[in-house]
Structure 1
Amino acid sequence: MDISLIAIIAINCLVSFKGFNDKLFFRKYEFHVGSIRAGEQIRMFTSAFLHVDIAHLAFNMLTLYLFAPYVIMNLGILPFLIIYIGSLAFGNLLTMFFHKNDYNYRAVGASGAVIGIVYAGILLEPRIEIYFMPGYVFGILYLLYSIYGMRNKSDNIGHTAHFGGAIGGYAITISQVPSLVTENTFTVILLAVPIIILFIMAKLGKL
């Protein structure tokens, strides 16, 4: 396993376990619109290393562990880190865009960054099979579940960040390997579908 991937998983685990056992720490660094708009922009970054519970953390880190090697193998370590951090940023920026007037909105999770790596991995290796299903099916189901989570608003998971992360991973990967558009056209179009659905629903006021 690459050292950069080990480091990301280790940081997520250390910060998350600190948050599990220290609610003041969790509240200080979670994504909270009111606090961010008051000047605490650091939360836009730190919230992506906190998780709701062990199951949330384990699912994100396992998914990252399964998809990251395909990105590193095809693009290298630096592009992998760019996609991870870029997807993290896209995820939280989209979250802020959707919830900027909801001062009580709170969320945590590495999901935005992870789904960016998922999308990158699927674009680069369309035949990936993860969790006993084709990778592109997993990616689409993940985002459709996120639409449900955004509408339901019953947990502290950053569902909106999933979409921003997917957009980040999608755009950055294609910008680095433009030939994917012609070589893997079907996958490129298929992965764009849930993103388009999100923006249609947002336009219609369904979110």
Structure 2
Amino acid sequence: MIITLGLIAATVAVSYLAWRDPQLMSKLIHWPPGVQRGEYWRLVTHGFIHADGTHLLFNMVTLFFFGRFMEQALTPRIGEVGFVLFYLAGIVIASLPSQFRHRNNARFQSLGASGAVAAVLFAYILLQPWSMLIVLVVPVPAIVFAAAYVGYSMWAERQASDNINHSAHLWGAAWGVVFLVALEPAVLPHFVNELLAPLQ
């Protein structure tokens, strides 16, 4: 789990530095008009900064528990560099719909690793749909959590009543599923068999 720990360490370090330096935060955050004028690094760097400690803790705890499993599952196939690229691609792909939608919106900003973390989490759920996740101290089957997560994110995205980029959660989750199925198509029938297992 060395790669997962490295990603966590890098995210904690960069978030901390950005909290102490507002100018650094401004340079790293996803700001679509800035990307439009060539500041492409923002599509990646915003995934290493967070709004506050709670935001950071939630993402990094989730990454710790599910990243280590997916690291072990994926690195034999794609290597350590491949796993890092899978994670970084999650950050970028999750932010692209917002980039296109808000490319001329100078007030829009987004930050956090949620897109990449959602990719890792949903790749895990594809492999272990009936494993139990602890959600607010309540054990919930992973597949039930996934359905609720997607449904809530779609609803919240339409409401636009908070400062959370729910679109990034959805597209990050989609990237995790698509990547895993493309890498190993047998994962899909495995997922279906696992879903049916409690009924057998």
> Is the TM value for this pair above 0.5?
yes
C-alpha distance in structure 2 between counterparts of 1:187 and 1:95, whole Å: 34
> 1:128: Cα distance to partner?
2.1
Contact in 1 for aligned 2:25/2:49 (Cα 8 Å): yes
Aligned length, in residue pairs: 187
1:116 corresponds to 2:119: yes
Aligned counterpart, 2:72: 73
- Aligned counterparts of 1:88 and 1:109: Cα–Cα separation in 2: 9
Q: Evaluate the alpha carbon distance shift between residue 156 and residue 13 of structure 1 in structure 2; reply closer, same or farther with a 3 A threshold.
A: farther
**CA 1:16–1:155 in structure 2 vs 1: closer, same or farther (change >3 Å)?**
farther
Could you state the TM-score of these two structures normalised by the residue count of structure 2? 0.84
Query: Alpha-carbon deviation of 1:149?
Result: 4.1
Task: Name the structure 2 match of 1:202.
Answer: none
Q: Does the aligned pair in 1 maintain the 2:44–2:88 contact within 8 Å?
A: no
Matched residue type, 1:34: P
Give CA deviations for 1:26-45 in whole Å, capped at 9, x if unaligned.
11110011111122111111
Between stretches 140-149 and 114-123, larger displacement belongs to: 140-149
TM-score, length basis structure 1: 0.81
1:93-172 correspondence runs (5 A): 93-131=96-134, 132-172=139-179
Give 1:105 shift. 1.0
**Counterpart amino acid of residue 51 in structure 1:** H
RMSD of aligned residue pairs (Cα, Å): 2.1
Deviates more, 1:46-55 or 1:83-92: 83-92
Amino acid of the structure 1 residue aligned with 2:15: S
1:11-90 alignment, distance < 5 Å: 11-76=10-75, 77-78=79-80, 79-90=82-93
Partner of 1:31: helix, strand, or coil? coil
Task: Tell me the residue number matched to 1:204.
Answer: none
Give 1 or 2 for the bigger CA radius of gyration: 2
Deviation at 1:51, TM superposition (A): 0.6
Identity %: 31
Question: For 2:14, what is the secondary structure of its paired residue?
Answer: helix
For the Cα contact (< 8 Å) 1:83–1:173, is it kept in 2? no
Extract unaligned runs of 5+ from structure 1.
189-207
Distance 1:144 1:21 in 2: 36
Relative distance call for 1:3 and 1:119 in structure 2 (3 A) is: same
